Amino acid sequence: MQQVVIVGGTHGNEFTGAYLIKKFDRHPHLIQRSHLQVSTLLANPKAFAANRRYIERDLNRCFLTEDLQNPTLTSYEDQQAKWINQTLGPKGNPQVDFILDLHSTTTNMGLTLLLPSLHPFNLRLAAYLSTLHPLVKVCSLNTDRESSVLRSLTPLGCVIEVGPIAQGTLDATLFQQTETLIHATLDYLNAHNQSTPLPSPTELTLYQYLEPLDYPRNDQGELLAMIHPQLQFQDYQPLNPGDPMFLTFEGDAIAYSGSHTVYPIFINEAAYYEKGVALCLTERVTMTI
């Protein structure tokens, strides 16, 4: 676990990660550790300069192996993804050991650690970080399909997703809390390399990703309803069968029709309207590590 990269600005209007990268570039001693080689990457500088999520295509959906190897994909973000793959990858045989990708969300996700897999190392790190602040939640995105996100260039690593923060803005409290998590992650990795691992719980409460749900729409793709007021900002709270989930513009409630209790996240994420996602469902599990 020698080469660590902290990535920010994968989405140009998520300022928390981008400005932390700029801070670390000005003060590199902050992220130096005795047994790590830590570097930084502002992933989408053109989108950051324009205060836009992306210029032509979502950079965090450009890292499928077939896309990285496809010479006909020539958008700005596709070219940037191929450059990042050459710099940090190649995918499947990366030059770096651990990627920490910094994101922010308009939803009430607090301090969320998004894990790409249930690899024991990722779980031990997440268990340690979850003890540092009551807002820290751990969500596993483990799926059978290849991931298209930047962090997937390495098997180990995680995404720090913080919110709620409006696009193109900063929140000082969440900025500082994110930086604290970064330092704690580096400290954990550094201790691991010295064979003196920091203590972590043997049990971890984890939210396992199930599926996304879209808003009700008409045949033209226009919205027919919005997130119900009782569900707004209730990320990680139980949603039971029959609980109100959407509210039509005429004032009628649409209930959750699933068969068991779930825990929605990314509720009413602004960036996900274009992706056809109103919220993502998870189930809460307790794992023994």
Among 66-75, 102-111, 131-140, where is mean pLDDT lowest?
131-140
Q: Which pLDDT score, from 0 to 100, does residue 270 have? A: 98
Could you tell me which CATH number the domain at 3-201 has? Answer: 3.40.630.10
pLDDT, averaged across the chain: 96
Virtual CA dihedral for 29, 30, 34, 35, nearest 10 degrees? -120
Residue 97 confidence class, pLDDT cut points 50, 70, 90 = very high
pLDDT at residue 254, rounded to an integer? 98
| Stretch(es) of the chain classified as CATH 2.20.25.160 | 210-282
CATH 3.40.630.10 maps onto the chain at 3-201
Query: In the structure, what pLDDT confidence band is assigned to residue 116 with cuts at 50, 70 and 90?
Result: confident
The tens digit of pLDDT for each residue in 211-253 reads 999 999 999 999 999 999 999 999 999 999 999 999 999 999 9
For the cut 80, the answer to whether the pLDDT of residue 14 exceeds it is yes
pLDDT at 128: 97
Dump pLDDT digits (tens) for 149-192. 999 999 899 999 999 999 999 999 999 999 999 999 999 999 99
Whether the pLDDT of residue 284 is over 80: the answer is yes
pLDDT at 8 exceeding the cut of 90: yes
- Global pTM reads 0.96
Q: With 80 as the cut, is the pLDDT of residue 132 above it?
A: yes
Q: What is the dotted CATH code of the domain comprising 210-282?
A: 2.20.25.160
